[in-house]
Amino acid sequence: MNRSFTRLFDPFAKTDTPPPAGLGPFLNWAIREAWPVVGVAGVLGLGVGLTEAFGAWLLGWIVDFALAEGQAGFFANNWPMLLSVAAFFLILRPGLMTLNAAVNNVALTPNTFPLALSRITRHTMGQSLRFFEDDFAGRLAQKAIQTSRAMTDILNEVVNSMTFAVSVVLGSLLVMGQVDGRLALVLAVWLGVYALLVSRFLPHIRKRSRARAGARAVVSGQLVDTMSNIATVKLFARVGQEETAAEDAMEVYRQRALSFGILSVTFRGCLMLLAGALPVLLIGGALWLWQAGQATAGDIATAGLLSTRIAQMSGWISFVAMGIFANLGEIEDGARTLSPPHTLTDKPGAIVPERATGALDFDHVAFGYGREGAALTDFNLSIQPGEKVALVGRSGAGKSTALSLLLRLYDVEDGAIRMDGTDIRDLTQDGLRSQIAMVRQETAMFNRSAHDNIAYGRPSASREDVIAAARLAQAHEFIEGLEDINGRSGYDAHLGERGVKLSGGQRQRIAIARAILADAPILLLDEATAALDSETEAAVQTALERLMEGRTVIAIAHRLSTISAMDRILVLDDGRIVEQGGHDDLLARRGLYAEFWSRQSGGFLRTEAAE
């Protein structure tokens, strides 16, 4: 069974097309490879349903046959026929059901969820940084899982329940028609009323389910946001306020869930009343025909079996249908959140660059995050291969924006950025970023081992390479002393979510080791030593100086002593370069850089100027 059923389609098949708008096209985009298996499962489900109706007819036929044959020698005279009936119930019907279950529960359901989730996740991870800045990470993750689960549940219910129900109903109509056309007409009218009731309720159920799904995602986002910033919550004694905010979100969800629940109860109550009417109508009709001599005892048994079976099934199927429409609402809500097209994409024919020399050129660059106040205005900067450049300025001057644009986390709104003479928009995003290593002020850590966090810079690196990089970054000693809650130690110890088990300085040293291991020709440092104590900073600065050899470097630093030896220092103000030169030259000018230096050196220059 493992070989035959588990890989009927690739559960991680990729697609080059973005998710389309609309519920049906989005669903097809996510699970297209599963449709052939869905078709097989549907056919098997129809077969299983037909055996239900045929089984009821068969039992009625046996009753009439037994009455006609009489008791004497019944088994002795009819054992071949009785064995055939037994084979139907013991072999054919169970075998068909088992095959249907295997296709549905082994081939379809376990593979559909990863197929949908991998496609949704792949598309979501391809979104621009701005997409993630405008939403909660927890909400996006929940939406991806919730939408994929809803798709899987719909397929499961359709092929496992709805096809079965449809075939039972069709078979029952045929059987009732064989018994008496009037009984088939009664059943057809009942089915029409049932369909009308379902068609009236389910659109409202779908709408309320969509609202409930949206409210649940807000609760998830609120909780993730609070727990991700739990240290800040506690430091500012805001636990009570966060609890209130969470309860407010939960109350909205509660109201949406109550609205959905009340409608569900009303729907099921109406269905139960309708289901109770069917046995009364069919069994009563069969008894009336029997009294008139137009039906047999077997016909009464058949009518009783089918009517009670359909009545029981109607409640179950209505519940399934309600679940399907509720899941459709979940998918619609998820598609609205997760399917927007990518706003930052590779050009057709974008190239993967060879190892860069490190020449960089910002040519009349303008950018303002889509707002009126520009972060960079007519920004011009040329950097030669191997040149070390520092960016300084007040917060909001545009320093980090320049690095983000170089990494193509955003696209310039005007002008161009070139690497080795090629517009970075003509390169693949991954190809561009593979040429650049970066250490940020706010370092990103995964809840994985110390080894894996460092090797993220070069996954193919050996353990010896990882340890060597850690030594250069002055991280080896503290990594050796790590131990996590599961007893893993040293480089195998996990660092906790976002590296919460490490100090700020330790996280930055891990990030520096990662950049060392990446061995990229361009190095970006955004306050790379800001969280280090003086002793560790001196050691790491030595490691960074070795790392910077032969590489183009752009460094951002508010602590000016760390960049005083750079080849060129650029002073930014209001998105423009207002000063540039070496450290001594800029001090001699007594401009903005000299003012910054004065503030950090105890006002020495101001005193000297006054004299």
| Whether residue 259 is found in the same domain as residue 142 | yes
Residues 6+ apart with CB under 8 A from 151: 27, 30, 31, 112, 113, 116, 327, 331
- State the pTM of this model: 0.70
Domain assignment present for residue 375? The answer is yes
C-beta separation of 566 from 552 below 8 A: no
Domain annotation covers residue 354 = no
Same-domain pairing of 501 and 563: no
Residues 6+ apart with CB under 8 A from 420: 353, 356, 357, 358, 359
CA distance 319 to 314: 8
CATH of the domain at 76: 1.20.1560.10
In a domain, 237, yes or no: yes
In a domain, 5, yes or no: no
CB of 74 closer than 8 Å to CB of 66:
yes
Strand-pair category, 422-423 with 436-439 = unpaired
Question: Is 417 in the same domain as 548?
Answer: yes
Q: Is the dihedral of CA 53, 55, 58, 62 positive or negative?
A: negative
Q: Which two tokens stand for residue 338?
A: 């997760």
Residue keyed to tokens 């009439």: 64
One-letter identity of residue 534: S
317 and 375 both lie in a single domain: no
Q: Which residue, among 529, 548, 456, has the nearest Cα to 466 in the 3D structure? A: 456
Mapped to the 3 state alphabet, what secondary structure does 314-379 carry? HHHHHHHHHHHHHHHHHHHHHHHHHCCCCCCCCCCCCECCCCCCCCEEEEEEEECCCCCCCCEEEE
Q: Is 37 domain-assigned?
A: yes
- Do the domain assignments include residue 594? yes
Among all chains, which residue has been given the structure tokens 């602590």?
Answer: 559
* Euclidean distance between CA atoms 302 and 177, whole angstroms: 12
Q: Which residues of the chain have pLDDT under 50?
A: 1, 604-611
Q: Are residues 290 and 370 in the same domain?
A: no
Q: What is the pLDDT of residue 151?
A: 92
Do 455 and 532 fall within a single domain?
no
Angle at 141 between CA 138 and CA 145, to 5 degrees: 135
Alpha-carbon span 238 to 235, nearest angstrom: 8
d(CA 26, CA 116): 10
Helix (H) or strand (E) holding 418: strand 414-419
| Pair 257, 403 in one domain | no
The whole-angstrom separation of Cα 550 and Cα 526 is: 19
CA neighbours within 13 Å on the CB side: how many for 76?
Answer: 4
Q: How far apart are CA 461 and CA 464, in angstroms?
A: 8
Q: Are 180 and 294 in contact (CB under 8 A)?
A: yes
409 and 331 co-located in one domain: no
131 and 259 share one domain:
yes
Contact 389, 570 (CB under 8 A): yes
* Residue 502 lies in domain: 447-506
Sheet holding 576-581, edge to edge: 436-439, 522-526, 552-556, 388-393, 568-573, 576-581
Asked whether residue 180 falls in the same domain as residue 266, the answer is: yes
pLDDT at residue 156, rounded to an integer = 84
CA distance 73 to 85: 18
The span from the CA of 105 to the CA of 361, in Å, is 57
**Per-residue confidence (pLDDT) for residue 117, from 0 to 100:** 93
Q: Does residue 423 sit within a domain?
A: yes
- Boundary of a domain, candidates 338, 373, 388: 338
Q: What is the DSSP letter of 192?
A: H
| Helix or strand holding residue 552 (H, E) | strand 552-556
Q: Which residues pair with 438 in a beta bridge?
A: 524
- Alpha-carbon separation of residue 388 from 382, 391, 531, 569 (angstroms): 12, 10, 22, 9
Residues 89 and 211 both lie in one domain: yes
Residue 604: per-residue pLDDT: 46
In one-letter notation, the amino acid at residue 284 is G
Q: Are strands 414-419 and 422-423 parallel, antiparallel or unpaired?
A: antiparallel
And the tokens for 189?
Answer: 């009218």
Closest CA to 404 of 382, 427, 433: 433
346-379 residue pLDDT tens: 999 999 999 999 999 999 999 988 776 678 988 9
Instruction: Say if residue 256 is in the same domain as residue 373.
Output: no
Last residue of a domain, one of 338, 373, 408: 338
Q: What is the pLDDT of residue 120?
A: 92
Q: How many domains are contained in the chain? A: 3
CA gap 401, 38 in Å, rounded: 49
- Which of 476, 506, 536 terminates a domain? The answer is 506
9, 12, 549 from 3: Cα distances, Å:
12, 17, 55
